[in-house]
């Protein structure tokens, strides 16, 4: 039995067959709202059950409850409101009770029933969710640019956000069946936005010692210049799994989901999302979902103490390094040796070497993984 | 902003109340109510877990298995 969906029920609000055809036709008669990429991704995640038990964008009561208590009004833990913002001009054209069409890239993506339309206090939001009002924080900057009104209500998908990476993506109902077919009862989730280095492998295998299976779940979507391209991340992981993981011990599948850089609150959010995918455990890393110096390195670990009823077990595994005296990958907790023996894994150094077509040292990255990344003519986003 | 969270009263024996009050001294819990809420949430979540029913039909399951086979997961 995989993990119980968060809130007790896995949401799936995807119109199919004749119903979908009818809804698509009806969108031409509805008020149309063009979504940004990030709004579209949130919409798709809602409809696909990634954010179960949410069936749509949050209404004001839940919004306030999440900010104040990190729980929905029905007491279920929830740390980041999933919101749909509109500016004043658009808000004037929408009324509660309306059905509106959500469009992305000139294609209808979903129908939304508007159950709530409310103004929000952005300062309160950023202080609660990000713990700061600083415009240097990317989440705060993002919120400042959003509309003054929020729409709340359930969505029903009639389309999908195409990324060209559909072959890599699995949704919660699919992974739950997959884990059950693999006879996994305990599954640890690992979130990433990077190619795997030795530190990642150490953390994943440390967790895998205690569970039946590992679910590697890279985030797909918007990336900034210099990041590894999504396809490169997948291919690098495939090589790692093929050469270094026991057969049927790891599943690799992507997730279209926005990063919010909300540190501790987002760490809990990520755990809830993986619970919906069927995970029983979730790896919470150093400075999980952090950015800059806004959160202390292990702040994201402390917040989990407030959720005895989360329904997924966080695994706190410290950052790994290679110790020449120990002769292997270790971390602060198990290695007594001085810094001079330690080879720290530097993402920047690895990136620089790979971009020159050089293999990083084997203490940092598996040679097969490095070779696969180097084989791409353009491994980085330009 | 800042609406009050709804609370209600549940009775527990005074002896239990006193035991908890003693127990939470010098811990992070600042009141018996806070402790009882924490413990109840943990227990309720465990009980809910045992009542899980997978949210898809056998037909959904067959369709998903076909897709997983095509993608090489099974």
Residues A126, A231, single domain; the answer is no
Q: How many CB pairs under 8 A join A and B?
A: 71
- Residues from chain B contacting residue A176 (CB–CB below 8 Å): 54, 56
Report the relative pairing of strands A281-284 and A187-192 from DSSP bridges: parallel
Class of residue A10 by CB neighbours under 10 A (exposed 0-12, middle 13-18, buried 19+): buried
Read off the pLDDT of residues A193-208 as tens digits, 9 standing for 90 and up: 999 999 999 999 999 9
Which domain CATH number covers A137? 3.10.400.10
Catalytic residue among A193, A286, A331, A342: A193
Same domain, A148 and A176: no
For the stretch A107-133, pLDDT in tens is 999 999 999 999 999 999 999 999 999
CA A260 and chain centroid, separation: 9
- pLDDT of B2 higher than 70: no
Paired strand residues for A284: A316
Residue among B42, B48, B74 whose CB faces A181 most closely: B74
Complex ipTM value: 0.87
> How do the domains of chain B map onto residue ranges?
14-70
Q: CA–CA distance from B18 to each of A335, B24, B25, B35 (Å)?
A: 45, 10, 11, 12
Q: A328 in helix, strand or coil?
A: strand
Contacts of A187 (CB under 8 A, 6+ apart): A2, A3, A179, A211, A212, A213, A214, A215, A278, A279, A280, A281
Chain A residue with CA closest to B1: the answer is A64
The verdict on B66 touching A (C-beta cutoff 8 Å) is no
Tell me, yes or no, whether A212 and A333 share the same domain. Answer: yes
Distance between CA A101 and CA A315 in Å, rounded?
Answer: 41
Buried (b) or exposed (e) across A26-62, using 16+ Cβ within 10 A? Answer: ebeebeebebeebbbbbbbbbbbbbbbbbbbbbbbeb
Residues with pLDDT less than 70, chain A: 1, 222
Tell me the chain B residues in contact with residue A5 when contact means C-beta distances shorter than 8 Å: 52, 55
* Contacting residues of A for B36, CB less than 8 Å apart: none
Domain for residue A298, yes or no? no
Q: In terms of C-beta density within 10 A (0-12 exposed, 13-18 middle, 19 or more buried), how is residue A93 classed? A: exposed
Enclosing domain of residue A178: 166-258+318-374
Q: From the CB of residue A293, how many other CB atoms can be counted at a distance below 10 Å?
A: 9
Q: Is A173 on the interface with B (CB under 8 A)?
A: yes
Yes or no, beta carbons of A68 and B44 under 8 Å apart: no
B38 near A CB under 8 A: yes
Domain-embedded: residue A119? yes
The answer to whether residues A125 and A240 belong to one domain is no
User: Which of A127, A157, A187 is where one domain is finished?
Assistant: A157
Euclidean distance between CA atoms A176 and A228, whole angstroms: 28
Q: How confident is the model at residue B5 (pLDDT cuts 50, 70, 90)?
A: low
How far away is chain B from the Cα of A55, in angstroms, using its nearest Cα? 14
Element at A31 (helix H, strand E): strand A31-34
**Model confidence pTM above 0.95:** no
Measured distance CA(B3)–CA(B10) in Å, rounded: 22
Convert the pLDDT of each residue in B20-44 to its tens digit.
Answer: 999 999 888 999 999 999 999 988 8
Secondary structure of residue A367 in the 3-state scheme: helix
Known catalytic residue: A193?
Answer: yes
Contact A64 B61 (CB under 8 A): no
Q: Which of A1, A8, A173 sits opposite B64 (nearest CB)?
A: A173
């Amino acid at each position: 039995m995989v993990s119980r969906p968060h809130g007790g029920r896995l949401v799936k609000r995807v119109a199919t067959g004749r119903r979908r055809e009818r809804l698509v036709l009806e969108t031409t008669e509805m008020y149309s709202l063009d979504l940004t990429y990030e709004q579209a991704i949130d919409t798709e995640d809602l409809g696909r059950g990634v954010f179960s038990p949410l069936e749509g964008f949050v209404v004001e009561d839940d919004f306030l409850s999440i900010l104040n208590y990190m729980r929905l009004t029905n007491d279920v833990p929830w740390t980041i409101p999933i919101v749909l913002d509109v500016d004043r001009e658009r808000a004037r054209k929408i009324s509660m009770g309306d059905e509106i069409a959500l469009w992305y890239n000139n294609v209808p993506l979903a129908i939304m029933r508007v159950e709530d339309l409310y103004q929000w206090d952005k300062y309160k939001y950023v202080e609660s969710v990000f713990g700061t009002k600083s415009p240097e924080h990317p989440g705060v900057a993002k919120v400042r640019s959003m509309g003054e009104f929020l729409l709340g209500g359930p969505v029903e998908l009639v389309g999908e956000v195409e990324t060209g990476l559909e072959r890599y993506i699995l949704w919660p109902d699919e992974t739950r069946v997959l884990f059950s077919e693999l006879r996994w009862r305990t599954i640890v989730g690992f979130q990433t936005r990077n190619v795997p280095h030795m530190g990642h492998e150490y953390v994943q295998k440390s967790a895998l010692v205690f569970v039946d299976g590992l679910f590697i779940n890279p985030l797909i979507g918007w990336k900034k210049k210099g990041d590894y391209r999504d396809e490169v991340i997948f291919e690098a992981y495939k090589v790692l799994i093929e050469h270094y993981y026991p057969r049927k011990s790891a599943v690799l599948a992507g997730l279209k989901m926005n990063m919010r850089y909300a540190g501790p609150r987002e760490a809990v959010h990520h755990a809830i999302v993986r619970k919906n995918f069927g995970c029983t455990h979730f790896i919470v890393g150093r400075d999980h979902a952090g950015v800059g110096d806004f959160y202390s390195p292990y702040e994201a670990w402390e917040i989990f103490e407030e959720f005895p009823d989360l329904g997924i077990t966080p695994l706190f595994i410290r950052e790994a390094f290679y110790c020449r005296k120990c002769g292997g990958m270790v971390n602060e907790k198990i290695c007594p040796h001085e810094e001079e023996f330690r080879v720290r894994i530097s993402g920047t150094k690895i990136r620089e070497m790979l971009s020159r077509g050089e293999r990083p040292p084997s203490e940092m990255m598996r040679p097969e993984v490095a070779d696969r990344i180097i084989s791409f003519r353009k491994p980085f986003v330009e | 902003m800042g609406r009050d969270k709804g609370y209600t009263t549940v009775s527990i024996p005074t002896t239990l109340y006193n035991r908890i009050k003693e127990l939470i001294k010098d811990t992070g819990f600042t009141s018996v109510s806070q402790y009882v809420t924490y413990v109840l949430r943990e227990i309720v979540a465990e009980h809910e877990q045992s009542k899980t029913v997978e949210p898809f039909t056998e037909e959904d399951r067959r369709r998903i298995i076909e897709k997983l086979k095509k993608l090489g997961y099974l």
